[in-house]
Amino acid sequence: MPKPYSTLSAAFPPSPTFTNAHLPSLKNRVYIITGAASGVGLALAQMLYLAGGTVYIAARSVARCQEGVDKILKQTSGQKGGVLKMMVVDLADLRTIRGAVDKFLAEEERLDVLFNNAGVMTPPKGSKDALGHDLEIGTNCLGPHLLTSLLEPILLNTAMMPGMSAGSVRVVWVVTYLGASPLEGGMRLDGKGEPVYLNKFMENYFQSKVGCTWLTDYYAKRLGPKGVMSVSIHPGLMKTDLQRHVSALMRLAMNLFLKGTDYGAYSELYAGFSPEVTMEHNGAHLLAWGRLSALPPHATEGLKSKNEGGNGNAELFVNWCNNEVALYK
């Protein structure tokens, strides 16, 4: 049974117990990593590539995808690897996602793990995605939701292939340290289920990541009975491009305790591959650098209906997400 959520443990995790050294051969296995042109996504992509996997570097432009591929090839020069491919998809523009998925499906017959790794944090106030949604909600929730929905068929088909064990096909939702801003109810929604923009520093980002845990629960219930596992993970506190919008002084303070991106990749490896994570843990929340945990109370409150002692916000939010992406499926 997962341990109760601990703010101290989430912020200061013990050493990782599952790393790239524990990976089996990933030859003939296929992976998509969003936000893989830099940061944790890039580190993860390199690890999967060196293990023999076919790895899709998913990023918002050809230039960004190529940048990620070139970095990996340069850093692994002389080493045997798998296959690197590009997926040009802008999660801040729902109109780009269907085409990217169609191209992927034309090339591949399987998808073993989808890592919803990309995200945006604290952009300038008033930032919007291409369709006018708040940028953090659009990029962190709506884009990955549509991408996952469109990839459902190939995930389910992969889970049914001979030799595939239940739970080996996974969707990993990368979230954050949810104990930092415990907003009552998890998210603040309007009457339609749309998140209300929050002005307090990082609070809007935190509520977008609570939304990701609710989407994790949605897909766990939707795909779990057919053998596809969904989990969310706080990958740890690291130096990444996510901090590009915070002040120089804040970055300096954060760098005193932030880890390198390999550590975040270990967290995602644990979520995507560890044998400790089984179908029993479908829908679970994980912590850095790879541990089972319960969600904090403000997030679980939304997952429960009012009759169950919660507020039902998760259902409202997921229904809103479904309505917003329906036109782009």
E-assigned strand segments in 72-227? 83-88, 113-116, 169-174
How many secondary structure helices (H) and strands (E) does the chain include?
11, 8
The secondary structure element, H or E, covering residue 58 is: strand 54-59
Active site residue 205: yes
| Dihedral (CA of 241, 242, 243, 246) sign | positive
Beta carbons within 8 Å of 248's beta carbon, 6+ residues apart:
none
Bridge partners of residue 232, in order along the sequence: 173, 285
Instruction: For residue 188, give Cα distances in angstroms to 138, 301, 319.
Output: 15, 12, 15
Name the active-site residue from 205, 218, 263, 270.
205
Name the active-site residue from 56, 177, 209, 270.
209
Active site residue 263: no
- Which two structure tokens, joined as six digits, stand for 168? 């080996």
- Which two structure tokens, joined as six digits, stand for 77? 């020069």
Bridge partners of residue 286, in order along the sequence: 233, 292
Q: How would you classify the pairing of strands 285-287 and 228-233? A: parallel
Beta carbons within 8 Å of 39's beta carbon, 6+ residues apart:
238, 240, 241, 242, 261, 264
Residues 304 and 323: beta-carbon distance below 8 Å:
no
Which residues are identified as catalytic? 205, 209
